[in-house]
Structure 1
Amino acid sequence: MPTLFGVPEEFDVIVIGGGPAGATTAGLLAKRGHQVLVLDKERFPRYHVGESLIPAFMRPMEELGITERMDARGFERKYGGTLVWGNKQVPWNFSFIEGGAYEYAYHTRRADMDSMILDRARELGAYIIEDATVKEPIEENGRVTGVRYTLRGVDGSYEARAKLVVDASGQSRLLSRRYSEVTWHEELRNVAVWTYFDNCERLDGDEYTNILIEGLDNGWFWAIPIDKGTISVGYVTRSSHVGKDGESLQELFASEVERSTKLKKMLAGANQAAGWRTARDWSYTSERFHGDGWVCVGDSAAFVDPLFSTGVALATLAGSVLSKIIDQVMAHPGIEQEALTRYATAYRGFFDEIRSFVERFYDRTKYKEFYYSLAQEMVDPEHEREPSGDFVQLISGLSGKHPMLNLHLDDLIADAAVPAQA
C-alpha cells in the first residue's frame, strides 16, 4: 500500500470532509493535541451555497480564534433580518442584539469562509489532504477503524487508520448512508432555485445589511447581500408546485419576482451575474448519528430547510461539541458509546427544535406576534424574557439552556474510573 510523503498512517481521528463541520471538529481536536487527518474530495476554495450566517456560528469561530479574520477579509456583517411574511405579507424585521451574546453574524462567499476555517485547522496541526475521495470504511470485527481513499490523478488507493472516524461529508453522507437509514421531513419537501445579481439596490437605513426573506402565496425568496453590489437570490417552494403548466424553474423564479415587493425593487436595475443552481428535498435526519468507531457531524447527520440560515451554525456548533466529546473519549475509551449517544441525543433534540419551529413558521396566515409566542413556547416556557427576544434567540441558534450547548461527561468519566467489583 503506497504512503504519502510526510503523512502518518495512524491517527487519533480521521474526518471525512473539510467543510465547516469537519474543519471545525478537526481544528478544535488538533488544538487539544490530537493527531487528526481531514480528507476532502475537493480542492479549496470551492463553491457552496449558504452564504448567510447566524450568531451561533460566532461561538465556534471564537474557539478557533478566527473571528477577527472575517472582518479583515471584508465579510459583510449581518445585524438582523427583514421579513415580508405572515398575514397579508406585512413587512417586519428583527435585530440580533435582542437575542443574546452576539449582535451580528456575517454574509460571506462560502468559498472564502470555508477555506478560512480549513486553513485554520491546518494551522492548528491537522493534516489536510484535498482531492482525496473516500471510497469505503475499513472495518475490523464490526468496528470502523479507518478509511480507504484515492487521490485525484493517482492510480491505486491509500489507507489511513484511526481510533475514531468522523463523517463530515455533508449530504454525500459517506458513512451514515452506509450504516443508517434517513427520514425525510414531508412538511419540508421543497425545491430551491437560485442565482446571483450585480448592481442591486440595498434595503434602506438600518436594514442595509439585513437578509431579506420575502414570502409569497406558494413560496419565499431569500436575498443575501454578498458585498456592496452583489446579492444571492433564491426561491423556495414545495416540490409539488414545480412543473405546473410546463413552467421551468427559471420561469417560475422570474414570475414570482414580479409578484414580490421589496425584492422586485432591489432587482429593478440589476443584472444577472451567474447561472442557475437548484436543490430539492433536502430536509432530513439520519436515524443513527453514530456507531462502532464512527460518528456524524453537520449535514451527514441532519439538515433543515434554509429559511433561517441555520445550516452552517448547526454544523459548526455540533463540531465544537463533538470535539470536546471526542477529546474525553480519547482519554477514557470505555465511555465511547455512552458519550456519543449523549452527543447524538442532544444534537438531534437541538435540530428537531429548529425544524419544528421552521415547519410551524411556514404557516403564513399568522401575524408576527404569533411567531414570537411560538418561539417563547419552545425556548422560554417560563416567560422570563420578551417574546420578541425569544424569537431572535431561537433563530440565532442560541437557546442557552439547551443540552446541546451544555453537554458534560463528568459522571461517565467518574463511573469509568471506578474499578469493577470482584
Structure 2
Amino acid sequence: MSVDQSPHVIVIGGGPAGATVSTLLAQQGYQVELFERERFPRYHIGESLIPETYWVLERLGMLDKMKSSPFIQKHSVQFVSPSGKHSAPFYFHDNKPHECSQTWQIRRSEFDVMMLKNAEEQGVVVHEGVRVLDVLFEGDQAVGVQIKDETGSVKEVRASVVVDASGQSSMLINKFKLRVPDADLNKGALWTYFKGAYRDQGKDEGATIVLSLRDKQGWFWYIPMQDDIVSVGVVAEFDYLFKGRANHKTTFAEEMENCLTVKERVSNAEQVAPVKATKDYTYRASQAAGDGWVLVGDAFGFLDPLYSSGVMLALKSGELAADAIGEGLQKGDFSRAQIGKWEDGFVEGMNRMRRLVCEYYDGFNFGEFIRRFPHHRGSVTDLLIGDLFNKELDQVFEDIDSMRVTKAPSE
C-alpha cells in the first residue's frame, strides 16, 4: 500500500476534482498519492457537463477517451417557462464555433472511473478502499494524513501538501468550521431515472432542458443519457420540498403534476430507480487553503446545479490548485498565500455563475433581456457554457441591473 518514499502531495478523494489535481501534478513529475475511501465504480449525481470543461479535459489527456465513450453528446441547453413555452435552444457552437462547444451527458460512475484510471496511467499512486482518519498537523502546518485500509491497518503518510477533495463531507471544512451556507439558495432536490422517456432527435437529443414549475416554486432538470435513460430531478426551496410532505416519492409525483411537460415526456417510460434526495445544497468554505492544505471541488463549495456547473467547477478548482501547488513545490513554499493564490479568481468566477442562478430564481426574463440587449446574446451564452473567468462579461450584469430598475420582472 505504500510507495518507496513520501509523496510530495497527498490527495483525499478520487472524484473529478481529486483526479484533476493529482493528474496535473503527476504530469509535472511530482509524486502524488491519492486515497479514496470507496471502490469505484460508485454512484454519484452530477451528470451534465458544460463546454468549458473541454480545456481541463484536454490538459488531462481525457479528450480522446471522452470521444470514444458511450456518453451522449450535448450541443445545447433549453428552457421551458411556467406556462410550458419552450425557449429557442442555446446552441453552444453558434456562439463559439470550436470543437469545445460539443460536450457530454455523462454517467458519473463511468466518468469517475475513467478519470481515476487516467490519473493512475499518468503516474498517480491510487489507493481505493482506504479511509483517511485524520489530517496531521505540526502547529498550523498540514504535514500528512492518518489512513486505515480495508484490513484495519492504520498508518501515517507524510507529504508537503494535503489536498482535500473528499466532497461535501470534507474533513477539513468540518475540522475548521469553514462551511458557510448560502441563505439565498437554500434549496434541495429530488430525482430519479426513467427508461424509454421522450427525447428530441438529432442535434437536440442530448440537450439539457430546464423546466420551470407552473407555480414558479422551482424547476426540473431533464438530462438524456446513454442506454435510453433520462435523469429527471426537481429543485426547490428546502421548506417547500421537504416540510409537511408525505414522502419523497409522493412529493416527486406531485411536482410532476406541477410541470406537465415533464409528466408528458415520461408518460410512456419506466421509472428504473427510487427517488433520491439531497438537502445540503449551496455552500462555500470561508477559505480554500491554509498552510500545507487545500480544498478543491465540493470540499470547497457547491453551487446550485441550475446551469450544470458542478463538474466544471470541480475540474477548474483542481486545475488552478494544481498549478499553484506545483509552483509552491518548485519554490519550497507551502504557505496559504502560495497554494491558495487561485482562490480569489476562482470565487469571482463562481460568483458570476451564482448571479445567473439567482436571477433565474428571481424570475428574471432572459428572453426579454436578449431582445433588449441583443449584443449580449453571445455573452450570456458564454456564461452558460462556463466561461466564468472573464471580467468583461460583468457588463451583462450591469445591464441586467439597469433593466430591473426600469421594468418589473415578468415570466
Match of 1:41 in 2: 37
The one of 57, 63, 86 equivalent to 1:61 is: 57
Q: State the Cα distance separating 1:364 from its structure 2 match.
A: 2.6
Q: 1:301 to 1:341 in 2, by over 3 A?
A: same
Gaps of 5+ in 1: 377-384, 404-422
The answer to whether the 8 A contact 2:161-2:334 is kept is no
**CA deviation vs aligned residue, 1:295-335 (integer Å, no higher than 9, x gap):** 11111111100111101001101111211111111011247
Q: State the Cα distance separating 1:372 from its structure 2 match.
A: 8.4
Whole-angstrom CA distance in 1 between matches of 2:40 and 2:279: 25
Match of 1:386 in 2: 375
Amino acid at match of 1:27: T
**CA deviation vs aligned residue, 1:199-223 (integer Å, no higher than 9, x gap):** 1111255422201110012111111
Q: Pairwise mapping of residues 75-90 of structure 1 onto structure 2 (< 5 A)? A: 75-85=71-81, 88-90=83-85
Q: State the Cα distance separating 1:368 from its structure 2 match.
A: 1.7
Q: 1:35 to 1:205 in 2, by over 3 A?
A: closer
Q: Pairwise mapping of residues 250-399 of structure 1 onto structure 2 (< 5 A)? A: 250-334=249-333, 336-364=335-363, 366-370=365-369, 386-399=375-388
Whole-angstrom CA distance in 2 between matches of 1:142 and 1:186: 30
Whole-angstrom CA distance in 2 between matches of 1:260 and 1:111: 29
The answer to whether the 8 A contact 1:96-1:103 is kept is yes
Whole-angstrom CA distance in 1 between matches of 2:34 and 2:137: 19
Whole-angstrom CA distance in 1 between matches of 2:121 and 2:296: 21
The answer to whether the 8 A contact 2:352-2:388 is kept is no
Gaps of 5+ in 2: 393-411
Match of 1:144 in 2: 142
Q: State the Cα distance separating 1:172 from its structure 2 match.
A: 1.0
Match of 1:380 in 2: none
The answer to whether the 8 A contact 1:98-1:393 is kept is no
Q: 1:30 to 1:249 in 2, by over 3 A?
A: same
Secondary structure of the structure 2 residue equivalent to 1:353: helix
Whole-angstrom CA distance in 1 between matches of 2:301 and 2:138: 27
The answer to whether the 8 A contact 1:85-1:214 is kept is yes
Q: State the Cα distance separating 1:291 from its structure 2 match.
A: 0.7
Q: State the Cα distance separating 1:166 from its structure 2 match.
A: 0.5
Secondary structure of the structure 1 residue equivalent to 2:101: coil
The answer to whether the 8 A contact 2:350-2:388 is kept is no
**CA deviation vs aligned residue, 1:102-126 (integer Å, no higher than 9, x gap):** 2111001100001101100000000
Whole-angstrom CA distance in 1 between matches of 2:186 and 2:243: 17
Q: State the Cα distance separating 1:9 from its structure 2 match.
A: 4.9
The one of 149, 157, 170 equivalent to 1:173 is: 170
The answer to whether the 8 A contact 1:180-1:288 is kept is no
TM-score (norm: length of structure 2): 0.89
Q: 1:316 to 1:367 in 2, by over 3 A?
A: closer
Match of 1:130 in 2: 128
The answer to whether the 8 A contact 2:248-2:275 is kept is no
Deviates more, 1:108-117 or 1:319-328: 319-328
Q: Does 1:11 align with 2:7?
A: yes
Q: State the Cα distance separating 1:46 from its structure 2 match.
A: 0.8
Match of 1:211 in 2: 208
**CA deviation vs aligned residue, 1:345-387 (integer Å, no higher than 9, x gap):** 11222212211221122123525233788xx8xxxxxxxx931
Q: State the Cα distance separating 1:267 from its structure 2 match.
A: 0.6
Deviates more, 1:99-108 or 1:304-313: 99-108
Deviates more, 1:14-23 or 1:328-337: 328-337
The answer to whether the 8 A contact 1:54-1:396 is kept is yes
Secondary structure of the structure 1 residue equivalent to 2:7: strand
Q: 1:243 to 1:354 in 2, by over 3 A?
A: closer
Whole-angstrom CA distance in 1 between matches of 2:361 and 2:8: 43
Match of 1:381 in 2: none
Whole-angstrom CA distance in 1 between matches of 2:243 and 2:61: 49
Whole-angstrom CA distance in 1 between matches of 2:5 and 2:70: 38
Whole-angstrom CA distance in 1 between matches of 2:135 and 2:242: 40
Q: State the Cα distance separating 1:8 from its structure 2 match.
A: 3.5
TM-score (norm: length of structure 1): 0.87
Equivalences, count = 387
The answer to whether the 8 A contact 1:188-1:281 is kept is no
Whole-angstrom CA distance in 2 between matches of 1:372 and 1:326: 45
Match of 2:224 in 1: 225
Whole-angstrom CA distance in 2 between matches of 1:338 and 1:349: 17
Match of 1:161 in 2: 158
Q: 1:399 to 1:372 in 2, by over 3 A?
A: farther
Amino acid at match of 1:85: S
Whole-angstrom CA distance in 2 between matches of 1:386 and 1:148: 55
The one of 169, 181, 190 equivalent to 1:193 is: 190
The answer to whether the 8 A contact 2:160-2:334 is kept is no
Whole-angstrom CA distance in 2 between matches of 1:156 and 1:401: 48
The one of 21, 25, 35 equivalent to 1:29 is: 25
The answer to whether the 8 A contact 2:290-2:335 is kept is no
Amino acid at match of 1:72: S
Q: State the Cα distance separating 1:99 from its structure 2 match.
A: 4.1
Amino acid at match of 2:381: V
Amino acid at match of 1:78: K
Q: 1:239 to 1:325 in 2, by over 3 A?
A: same
Secondary structure of the structure 2 residue equivalent to 1:11: coil
Q: State the Cα distance separating 1:56 from its structure 2 match.
A: 1.3
Q: State the Cα distance separating 1:245 from its structure 2 match.
A: 5.4
Q: 1:155 to 1:367 in 2, by over 3 A?
A: closer
